[in-house]
Every structure is written in C-alpha cells, then in structure tokens.
Amino acid sequence: MVTVTAEFIENYYLIIINGEVDASSSIHLDKAFQEAVQSGYKKILVDCKNLQYISSAGLGVFISYIDEIESKNIKLVLFNMSEKVYKVFEILGLHKILSITDTEEKAKVLTDEL
C-alpha cells in the first residue's frame, strides 16, 4: 500500500511518498509523477522519508520519466531516503542518474543548481 501526496511550496512541486511501492501499488506513484511532470513546474522534490520499500516496479516509474524530465528541463531531486531504500537505487546504478540528497533544504539548493 502506498499513498502519494502533492504539495506546492512556492515554485517547488513536492511529492511525498508514504508506504511501500511494489508491482501492485506502483500505479499510484506513476499517476502522481505524471501529474507532476505535466504540471508545468520546473522543480520537483520527492520526500522519501516514509518510503518504506521499493521494488523494480517503483524504480521503473522514476526511470520512465527521466527522458521527459530532461527534455522539459525539469529539475528532480529525491531526499530523506532511508539507507535500505537507497541501497536498492544503488544496485541498479540509479543513484548516479538521479539526484538524491539527505534533506529538503539541500534538495532545494540542488534544484536551483542543476
């Protein structure tokens, strides 16, 4: 089960993921991502503090939007990720492709720099 919330803070689009993203629940993350990418916002932050688990179906959501994010010049940063979830991104080398940092403040600075 996962719930995904969108919050708008000035010019940042904040996605908050709560719960476990697997083959049955990744559709909810996908829908949230689609809305974010199509919103017109150029800075998307993803709060992973309560992301307890992610499988390839969830990673697939991130992967499938990388091209669109680049072509639309959107800056995407993930933050607050637990060690065990970060390791899953690392297994596939996604930590080198996606921007991942520890705090919301650093994530905001990163979207300004990217």
Partner 1 sequence: MNYKFKVGCSKNKLQSIRQFIQQTLDNYSISEVDKCQLVLAVDEMCANLMIHSHHCNAEKKLELSITIENDEGITFEIFDQGKAFNILEYKDPQLEHIIKQKRKGGLGILLVKRIMDLIEFDYDANKKLNVCRLHKFIPIKEQKE
Please give the residue ranges that form the binding site for partner 1 (CB under 8 A): 1, 20, 22-24, 26, 30, 53, 55-57, 59-61, 63-68, 83-85, 87-88, 91-94, 97
Which H, E and C letters describe 10-33, residue by residue?
CCEEEEEEEEEECCCCHHHHHHHH
C-beta of 10 vs 67, nearer to partner 1: 67
For 80, counting Cβ atoms within 10 Å of its Cβ (0-12 exposed, 13-18 middle, 19+ buried), the class is buried
CA gap 105, 59 in Å, rounded: 24
Shortest distance in whole angstroms from residue 7 CB to partner 1: 25
C-beta of 53 vs 104, nearer to partner 1: 53
Shortest distance in whole angstroms from residue 57 CB to partner 1: 7
C-beta of 23 vs 109, nearer to partner 1: 23
Shortest distance in whole angstroms from residue 37 CB to partner 1: 11
Shortest distance in whole angstroms from residue 53 CB to partner 1: 7
Report in angstroms the alpha-carbon separations of 15 from 3, 47, 90, 91, 92.
Answer: 10, 6, 21, 23, 23
C-beta of 2 vs 12, nearer to partner 1: 2
CA gap 41, 8 in Å, rounded: 10
